[in-house]
Structure 1
Amino acid sequence: MPSSDFAAGRAGPARRSPRPYRAARARRRRARRRATLAVLSVAAAGLLGLAAAILPPRFGPADPDGARLSGAGAVASPDPTPTAAPTPTPTGTPTPGPPPLRLTGSFPATGSGSFAFAAGQGRVAGRAGPLRRYRVAVEKGAGEEVAGFVAAVERALGDPGSWPASRRLRLQRVPDGAGHDFTIYLATAGTAGEMCAAGGVNIRIDGRPYTSCRATGKVIINLERWRRSVDHFVEARVPLDTYRDYVINHEVGHELGNGHERCPGRGRPAPVMMQQTLFLDGCVANPWPYLDGRRYTGPAL
């Protein structure tokens, strides 16, 4: 037997290479890993969905449309687009308008001739001199409140420019029934005309009662002038309150013994005892007998 055949018989069948088996095992391991990853992915997705359903809204995914979970998982409507708040209108104290020059509206030309007197007692105006007491009364049916007229009278006579600035007298309002030196009346034009005529004073201009007057113990203020002032004051834009201060101080000045005066010069203040209801003669309206603490006068009429 040839030696070559004898050698082959002892070695037995030829052995296969190990490489194909290793490749197969690697393929199987990769397949198992892919399958495992797929299972894990599915499980993870399920867990995330369950968490989204049961966790509170703040742990849920963001909603790009602005919706929020509310209640038991219900979807609330998206918040409306915010709008700018309107600018608030200022609510401070309104700026007062210019003072009136005269009052509008109707008022009686004549009245009952009977008067309502102010109650109570006012403060003393002035620091020295004898005390002069006065009452205040408003004609019934004149359409004016007693309290309003009282306030105007006390404002005029209590001002630092009024008669008590002389330090030679003091003034105080007292009620009806108390001892008094004179009375300040607010009367309709018809009643004022009768009262002034009874005291010897004619207040008629062009046939109708026009001005105010003083009769003995009586200062009589014409309601028409009290409400309407006079044309030359209105044209000069003099406030109605300035005219009221003037007419009270003028007529009380007569009661205190002062006579009429004239304008001391164009552009200068009119003396309070000048007949400013009738004219200014180039002077400037002035309601006070004292200016800067000194008695202000003009030439005697």
Structure 2
Amino acid sequence: MPASGPGTFTTAQATGQTVGTSGPVRRYQVQVEDGAGVPAEQAAAEIQVIIADPRSWAAHGKGRFQLVAADTVPDVTVKIATPKTTDRLCASVGDTHGELNCEVTGGIVVNLKRWLLGSPQYHGPATEYRHLIINHEMGHLIGYQQHMACPGAGKPAPVMQQQIKGLDGCTSNAWPYTREGAFIAGPPAP
């Protein structure tokens, strides 16, 4: 996995149906830093599946989402970037230390390291941790600016908990909602 890259991106030439039950449509593009070793179309397909999942934001009236290609102006850009590029792109919102992801004006920056390797604090495969990355950062974009804390030992961590910084007794969780449709909440994080 490269620690740095050229800072240029390839946009996935992929489109999808609008998913979601209500709310504004947010058109999103997926871009991958050149040389990252992740095909942009593959990442876009995976993100589209995450967003369309019945446990995700779109299934619960928090907005509608549509994957769009490079010839459409997006509302949101999801960039998968090397750790050094992530640090640079996220600098306006804080130091990501080559480890974290961030939400910035107009988009999400996903750290390639986290995309490929997951998080040591998250008990599950890297592919499942990707669900958490997308749901957590999309949560910020749709208005959940406040992080949440663990609601109690043994309970699922809220998707808005910064699980990469520790679970505080909760169990790993990548989704804002349960299979039954209940929102997984916690108290505001300090």
TM (norm. structure 2) is: 0.94
Q: CA deviation at 1:168?
A: 3.9
Whether 1:223 and 2:112 are equivalent positions in the alignment is yes
- The runs of 4+ residues in structure 1 deviating greater than 4 Å are none
Give distance in 1, aligned partners of 2:12 and 2:133: 20
Question: For residues 239 and 120 of structure 1, do their structure 2 counterparts lie closer, same or farther at Cα, with a shift above 3 Å needed?
Answer: closer
Instruction: Give secondary structure in 2 for the equivalent of 1:154.
Output: helix
User: Quick check: 1:186–1:223 contact (8 Å CA) kept in 2?
Assistant: yes
Give distance in 1, aligned partners of 2:38 and 2:167: 28
Equivalence for 1:103: none
Question: Which amino acid is 1:298 matched to?
Answer: G
Task: Give the root-mean-square deviation of aligned CA atoms.
Answer: 1.2
Q: Which of these residues, 135, 139, 144, is aligned with residue 249 of structure 1?
A: 135
Instruction: Give secondary structure in 1 for the equivalent of 2:49.
Output: helix
User: Quick check: 2:55–2:176 contact (8 Å CA) kept in 1?
Assistant: yes
Give distance in 1, aligned partners of 2:106 and 2:186: 25
Give distance in 2, aligned partners of 1:275 and 1:211: 10
Q: CA deviation at 1:185?
A: 0.4
Equivalence for 2:96: 203
Give distance in 2, aligned partners of 1:218 and 1:170: 16
Alignment of 1:1-301 (within 5 A): 107-197=1-91, 199-204=92-97, 209-233=98-122, 236=123, 238-258=124-144, 259-291=146-178, 292-301=180-189
Q: Deviations over 1:14-50 (max 9, x none)?
A: xxxxxxxxxxxxxxxxxxxxxxxxxxxxxxxxxxxxx
Instruction: Give secondary structure in 1 for the equivalent of 2:27.
Output: strand
User: Quick check: 1:126–1:165 contact (8 Å CA) kept in 2?
Assistant: yes
Give distance in 2, aligned partners of 1:126 and 1:229: 27
Structure 1, gaps ≥5 residues long: 1-106
Q: CA deviation at 1:273?
A: 0.2
Q: Deviations over 1:89-142 (max 9, x none)?
A: xxxxxxxxxxxxxxxxxx100001000001131121112222111111000011
Determine which structure has the larger helix proportion and give its number. Answer: 1
Question: Which amino acid is 2:101 matched to?
Answer: S
Question: Which amino acid is 1:268 matched to?
Answer: K
Give distance in 2, aligned partners of 1:267 and 1:128: 33
TM (norm. structure 1) is: 0.60
Give distance in 2, aligned partners of 1:210 and 1:142: 16
Q: CA deviation at 1:165?
A: 2.0
Give distance in 2, aligned partners of 1:256 and 1:247: 14
Q: Deviations over 1:198-220 (max 9, x none)?
A: x322212xxxx111111111200
User: Quick check: 1:249–1:289 contact (8 Å CA) kept in 2?
Assistant: yes
User: Quick check: 2:121–2:163 contact (8 Å CA) kept in 1?
Assistant: no
Give distance in 1, aligned partners of 2:95 and 2:57: 26
- Percent of aligned pairs with the same residue? 40
Structure index of larger Rg: 1
